[in-house]
Amino acid sequence: MNDIRRTILWVIFGFSMVLLWDQWQVHNGHKATFFPGPTAQTAAKTASQGAAAVPNSVPSASTTSTAGATNTVAANAVLAGATAPLPSSNGGAALVRRETIQVSTDVLKLSFDSEGGSLVRSEMLQHHAGPGHTGNFVLLDENADRVYVAQSGLIAPTAQTGAIFPTHKTVMALAPGPRSLANGQNELVLRFESPEVGGAKLIKTYTLQRGSYAIGVKHEVQNVGSTALAPQLYVQLVRDGNKPAGESSFYSTFTGPAVFTEAKKYQKIEFSDIEKNKADFEKTSPSGYVAMVQHYFASAWLLPNGLAREIFARKVDNNLYSVGMISSFEPIAPGTSKSISAQFFVGPQEEKKLDALYPGLELVKDYGWLTILSKPLYWLLDKLHTFIGNWGWSIVALVVLLKIAFYWLNAKAYSSMAKMKAINPRIMEMRERLKDKPQEMQQEMMKIYREEKVNPMGGCFPIMVQIPVFIALYWVLLSTVEMRNAPWVGWIHDLAAPDPFYILPLIMTASSMLQTALNPAPPDPMQAKMMWIMPLVFSVMFFFFPAGLVLYWITNNVLSIAQQWIINTRMGVPPQFNLPKF
């Protein structure tokens, strides 16, 4: 009877794991793995739909909804080629035609739209697009399939309802100057100037530095009218709610807006929460940033600390979402100007550079709830890479150090397993003899454990203690952008991509099976079968995991097998392979 109950429980457990995995995939925006439903329709967006709404009033803490500011929305986007008047020297009006301006440094190739001086495309010159794609990786973009842009402009404060200032929909003129960073040059400057709108001119100056993914953005407002002005600056990121192309179906990473403030620290915002007006984040702060995050890369608006800001996140269009900040200029008298200097980051999540750029910005590299363990593990991995010079061998070295650190815990676990293996023949004989007397069988089994001073759970606890550390290392390897396009040996040219020939996953499967064979076989036949089935089932996922992750598990398995073999031999329990009996 006990065997039947255990069999039923194992079947329920296995089926539940399949259902949970399937629903987890759906929850994270992927297609169902085992029980696919209808394919979700992806809304195509035209370039003209990519422009977000212009906020025309400052959201107050009392009127801001959870999804974002209660600002109204402006009309449709201006079509490419639209013109706007710019005052000329003779008092007439010269027409400024909308255009796309391309500039480049040693690490970035950027496209700016003269409508608002917005950044509409960013190409990473030192990061390949990834497996199955040609060219460089593109983060920001605006086309028929994708919208992801950075915008800024001016709005009137609540007290000046109806006032209009230059926004990201205002066509601006670009000052003459170089469009690429020349050899020996360390700085490239782009200066956009708007026409006069509401008595104000907005001058937006981008400063690009050699080797940097951080762009200085100075917003200067000139009062060319006859009355004092008090405009407000808004900066925002606008993105569609689709997952990045090529994201794996076997593991999921966060994609969406994020907010950081000193009071509440790092706050991720799901697109679905914005949709349902359930997004929870701090709405006002004297510090912090807003960002759009995805696997390996991020963009972020960074305002100076000490400058008061309103923070908003809202749905803009059918499948467009924005996250941004609003800050006030000091009153600007006629004939004078005031400015606010910001930074815009668009690039890879390189933890050390992010940490040096802005407080808390390194948190866009998301380790989840195990950040407290993951950060020191990454620090150690980075130090090892400094000495070794190869990320693959650095992973191997890190796992070796962790196994040394946990040697005595593992030794205790393997000693307990060795004792279990030593008494296993006696247990099996007893089970066969008392198979029709389950109650007596249980009593006899406990008696054997007491006599032999064996704790059947003694091999589990020491291993469970280590699980958080190895899960944290899993997230380090999954999140570290330095693994992209990083070779190891031979056929492994990208540790962030799956093994193209499946050699590492096959070795991983073999090592898992060998480790299972060295463990004592459970007395229950069904449990013994499940001990063999589960490693095979989970090994399938490793065929689609990044090679760096598979390398980590292989190293861990091989070291565990070696330590188990040594301990068994020392205890006089010759290593033997407990093959399955199906």
Task: Return the higher-pLDDT residue of 51 and 135.
Answer: 135
How many percent of the chain have pLDDT more than 90? 55
Contact in structure between 155 and 54 (CB atoms under 8 Å): yes
pLDDT band at 462 (very low <50, low <70, confident <90, very high): low
Contact in structure between 481 and 382 (CB atoms under 8 Å): no
pLDDT of residue 5: 40
Question: Which residues lie across from 208 on neighbouring strands?
Answer: 188, 215
pLDDT of residue 580: 59
pLDDT of residue 447: 80
Measure the CA–CA gap between 552 and 30, rounded to whole angstroms: 26
- Which residue in 234, 232, 235, 229 sits closest to 337, CA to CA? 229
Torsion of CA 16, 20, 23, 27, to 10 degrees: 160
Measure the CA–CA gap between 391 and 487, rounded to whole angstroms: 8
Task: Return the higher-pLDDT residue of 495 and 8.
Answer: 495
- Which residue in 346, 295, 329, 315 sits closest to 475, CA to CA? 295
Given a cut of 90, whether residue 247 has pLDDT beyond it is no
pLDDT band at 84 (very low <50, low <70, confident <90, very high): very low
In this predicted model, what pLDDT tens digit does every residue of 390-423 receive, in sequence order?
999 999 999 999 989 888 877 776 677 667 766 7
DSSP string, 70-81: ------PPPPTT
Question: Which residues lie across from 229 on neighbouring strands?
Answer: 332
Mean pLDDT is lowest, of 45-49, 263-267, 306-310, 499-503, for 45-49
Given a cut of 60, whether residue 282 has pLDDT beyond it is yes
pLDDT band at 322 (very low <50, low <70, confident <90, very high): very high
How far are the Cα atoms of 106, 182, 209 from residue 119, in angstroms, in the given order?
18, 21, 16
pLDDT of residue 66: 36
Mean pLDDT along residues 497-507: 94
pLDDT of residue 575: 64
pLDDT of residue 35: 43
In this predicted model, what pLDDT tens digit does every residue of 191-244 receive, in sequence order?
999 999 999 999 999 999 999 999 999 999 999 999 999 999 999 999 999 989
Measure the CA–CA gap between 151 and 279, rounded to whole angstroms: 22
pLDDT of residue 414: 66
Task: Return the higher-pLDDT residue of 18 and 501.
Answer: 501
In this predicted model, what pLDDT tens digit does every residue of 475-491 receive, in sequence order?
999 999 999 999 999 99
Given a cut of 90, whether residue 454 has pLDDT beyond it is no
Mean pLDDT along residues 346-368: 94
pLDDT band at 369 (very low <50, low <70, confident <90, very high): confident
Measure the CA–CA gap between 327 and 154, rounded to whole angstroms: 10
Given a cut of 80, whether residue 2 has pLDDT beyond it is no
Residue 29 CB contacts under 8 Å (≥ 6 apart), including other chains: 243, 252, 255
Question: Which residues lie across from 232 on neighbouring strands?
Answer: 155, 328
Highest mean pLDDT pick, 10-24, 358-372, 404-418: 358-372
Task: Return the higher-pLDDT residue of 392 and 523.
Answer: 392
pLDDT of residue 31: 47
pLDDT of residue 520: 63
Given a cut of 80, whether residue 60 has pLDDT beyond it is no
In this predicted model, what pLDDT tens digit does every residue of 544-576 receive, in sequence order?
899 999 999 999 999 988 887 887 777 666 666
Question: Which residues lie across from 141 on neighbouring strands?
Answer: 148
Task: Return the higher-pLDDT residue of 291 and 454.
Answer: 291
- Which residue in 95, 90, 211, 219 sits closest to 151, CA to CA? 219
Contact in structure between 52 and 120 (CB atoms under 8 Å): no
DSSP string, 246-292: T--SSS----EEEEEETTTEEEE--HHHHHTT------EESS-EEEE
Measure the CA–CA gap between 571 and 456, rounded to whole angstroms: 17
pLDDT of residue 540: 84
DSSP string, 499-513: -TT-HHHHHHHHHHH
Q: Which residue has the tokens 């977000």?
A: 52
Structural domains of the chain sorted by starting position, each given as residue range(s) with its CATH number in brackets: 1-41 (no CATH), 49-85+94-361 (2.70.98.90), 380-570 (no CATH)
Given a cut of 80, whether residue 270 has pLDDT beyond it is yes
pLDDT of residue 76: 30
Contact in structure between 282 and 263 (CB atoms under 8 Å): yes
**What letter does residue 520 receive in the DSSP assignment?**
P
Average pLDDT, the chain: 81
Task: Return the higher-pLDDT residue of 524 and 162.
Answer: 162
Residue 335 CB contacts under 8 Å (≥ 6 apart), including other chains: 223, 224
Torsion of CA 221, 222, 226, 228, to 10 degrees: 40
Q: Which residue has the tokens 């006032």?
A: 163
Task: Return the higher-pLDDT residue of 471 and 160.
Answer: 471
How far are the Cα atoms of 151, 164, 235, 292, 311 from residue 167, in angstroms, in the given order?
9, 9, 10, 21, 18
In this predicted model, what pLDDT tens digit does every residue of 419-431 receive, in sequence order?
776 677 777 778 7
Question: Which residues lie across from 40 on neighbouring strands?
Answer: none
- Count of alpha carbons within 13 angstroms of residue 509, beta-carbon side: 17
pLDDT of residue 524: 66
Measure the CA–CA gap between 90 and 152, rounded to whole angstroms: 30
Measure the CA–CA gap between 388 and 393, rounded to whole angstroms: 7
Mean pLDDT along residues 257-266: 95
Contact in structure between 137 and 117 (CB atoms under 8 Å): no
Measure the CA–CA gap between 467 and 450, rounded to whole angstroms: 29
Measure the CA–CA gap between 570 and 564, rounded to whole angstroms: 10
Mean pLDDT along residues 29-54: 41
Measure the CA–CA gap between 42 and 144, rounded to whole angstroms: 11
Given a cut of 80, whether residue 45 has pLDDT beyond it is no
